[in-house]
Structure 1
Amino acid sequence: MKSSLPPEVLRQAAEWLVRLDHQTDAATEQAFQAWLAADPQHRHSITRLQGHLLPLQQAPARAALRRARQPRAAATAAKCLGLAVLLGLAAVPAYEYGQQGYLLADLSTGSGQWRQQRLDDGSDLQLEGGSAVDLHFDPRQRRVQLLRGEILVNVAKDAQRPFYVDTPQGSIRALGTRFIVQRSGDATQVTMLESSTRIDSAGQQQVLGPGQRLRFDARGPGTVEQVDADALEQAWTHHQLLANDQPLADVLERLARHRPGLLLFDRQALQGLRVTVMLPTDDSDKALRLLQRTLPIEVSHYTPWLTRVTLTPAEK
């Protein structure tokens, strides 16, 4: 079996291919060479992407990668490689999804899919598009590990077994019933629809009540926000994305789970942009057009499988 590559490495590789296809200055060449040399997985990720191209496309792509070892030819080689990979990106979505291991998750959804599942204990679990969870139920406790995406949980009462949702940033214990958990970047966001939860993160605890939202990361819980729980649940029911003064990067990350292929963006570059909007997740192209009309961003489509969002030149 082929070893898996971290999803972030695959994303970085795709970013480099697009960047080098449009930017060939010396500084970019040097940065690309440094990226290739920093980790064997970087070169391996590009090679893996080549493996999904048609045979006629593979030969020039491999040659381009070999030439990339020569500093003066780096930009030209990367450009050729980028064009070849862009032609074959139709195969990337299934590959990337499988490499992340989500196909082996206990429950998962693909791009744009929604799923509702009744668990063995009677709890109800709903998965948004591009989400995955593992289940760990035993006589002492019930745990849902959120691997990716966003879930809505309606917890069944069980006096003997507490119910938890775990992410890399912490653990959420259900003290009541309905809540939403979303993984976004290196953080987790919890939104209470009904009753309460207790969040344990970085040695700190925080209890959330109805209509409250909290984002937490490796540093612990952030600031509690008030939200319209009814509106959020209605948006979920109608497959809509409701954002109220949220970072644009978080909105794009959620949209990315509802479209085939890759939606690329630089979270750091977009960190100053926040949005309040209602978007259709079932039509991500329309959602992106709506965002582009109201924000200083450009949406570039390279193929049906690769889209990039950047700041407009005046804002860079």
Structure 2
Amino acid sequence: MSAAVSASVLRQAAEWLVRLDNQTDAATRQAYHVWLAADPQHGAAIARLQGHLSPLAELPRQPARAALRRAHQGRPRGQAIKALALAGLLVGSGLLGYQHWQRGYLLADLSTARGTWTEQRLTDGSEISLNGDSAVDWHFDAQERRVHLLRGELRVQVAKDAQRPFYVDTPQGSIRALGTRFIVERRDDATRVTMLESSTRIESPVGTLVLNAGEQVRVDANGIGAVQRVDVAAQEGAWNHHQLLVTDQPLSDVLERLARHRPGLLSFDREALAGMRVTVMLPTDDSDRALRLLERTLPLQVTHFTPWLTQVTPLDEEERK
């Protein structure tokens, strides 16, 4: 069996394939080879994607050609073919389904697809709410209650139980509820905790912190970051109305979160977007509108190759004029 390839690496590989079709200069090729050599997963991801793309290269059937023309009129043929092929990979060949099977998300106790939200009351009376593309498992016994956040973001309202502490676990640490309500977001390399009511104790391999109501913190391999103040009412309102509320966060992080609320692939280059930070509220139930709002307020171009492949790129100086 081939080694598992993470979703973030597959996304990066797809972005490189699109860039290489449209940008063949020496600097781009050199950057690609540096990326390829940085991690064995990178080569595996390219091989996996190219294995799916090669049978589509000729696009022999008339419906496929028509879709290609609609998807990318006026674009270079190679880039348009690759865009349609990537969309076919994501939707037709079930890459997203593969990713869920690979990590066991389809067997999770509770999960959501992209763009969907759900709520459930647990056996102890606690309530869990998941936003798009999220998954959790839980294990309750006589000694403790544990929820494992496998992917995405949850809000939990913890029922009181003097005998059994309540934990939310991620790869970066364990969050023990000392109060009632908080939000936990898991990414590939970090966990973000937002305290809405009372407090939690965050325990990581490199430190411990008590987080109080109206506070937010990021935990990663380097430890527990600086505590930031948040508007609890605004956070609650954003969650209840399916909105993405961010304050002075990197644009790439915002796009990563927005990607959980739309089908297919939202492609962007973190390095190219480095330095862009945003404070914004975006509608997750209408991710196309959210992208238009970002495009109107930032020096960005949003290109829809197909309904399942969208690319966000920064404008250069000439394009900004």
Q: TM-score, normalised by structure 1?
A: 0.84
Aligned residues: 300
Residue 142 (structure 2) pairs with residue 164 (structure 1): no
CA RMSD of aligned residues (A): 2.9
User: Cα deviations across residues 232-290 of structure 1 (Å, max 9, x unaligned)?
Assistant: 11111111111222222222111100000011222343232222212110000000000
Structure 1 pair 242–151 and aligned structure 2 pair: CA distance change class (3 A): same
Q: Which moved more, 1:185-194 or 1:109-118?
A: 185-194
Structure 1 distance, partners of 2:132, 2:80, is 33
User: Cα deviations across residues 79-102 of structure 1 (Å, max 9, x unaligned)?
Assistant: 698356235243343333433432
Superposed, which structure 2 residues align to 1:9-28 within 5 Å? 9-28=9-28
2:257 to 254, 257, 263: 254
Q: Which residue of 1 aligns with 2:182?
A: 179
- Matched letter for residue 215 of structure 1: R
- Matched letter for residue 104 of structure 2: G
- Matched letter for residue 114 of structure 1: W
Residue 275 (structure 2) pairs with residue 272 (structure 1): yes
Structure 1 distance, partners of 2:87, 2:228, is 44
Q: TM-score, normalised by structure 2?
A: 0.83
Structure 1 pair 312–124 and aligned structure 2 pair: CA distance change class (3 A): same
Structure 2 distance, partners of 1:87, 1:199, is 40
**Percentage identity across aligned positions?**
65
Verify the 8 A CA contact 1:93 1:260 in the aligned structure 2. Answer: no
Structure 2 distance, partners of 1:249, 1:35, is 18
Structure 1, unaligned runs of 5 or more: 61-77
Structure 1 pair 160–308 and aligned structure 2 pair: CA distance change class (3 A): same
Structure 1 pair 18–159 and aligned structure 2 pair: CA distance change class (3 A): same
Residue 110 (structure 2) pairs with residue 110 (structure 1): no
- Matched letter for residue 82 of structure 2: G
Q: Which moved more, 1:123-132 or 1:301-310?
A: 301-310
Structure 2 distance, partners of 1:301, 1:80, is 11
- Matched letter for residue 238 of structure 1: H
Verify the 8 A CA contact 1:264 1:309 in the aligned structure 2. Answer: yes
1:101 to 100, 104, 107: 104
Q: Which moved more, 1:27-36 or 1:268-277?
A: 27-36
Superposed, which structure 2 residues align to 1:183-262 within 5 Å? 183-262=186-265
SS of the aligned residue for 1:254 comes to helix
Structure 1 pair 87–173 and aligned structure 2 pair: CA distance change class (3 A): closer
2:153 to 116, 141, 150: 150
Structure 2 distance, partners of 1:107, 1:125, is 9
1:125 to 120, 124, 128: 128
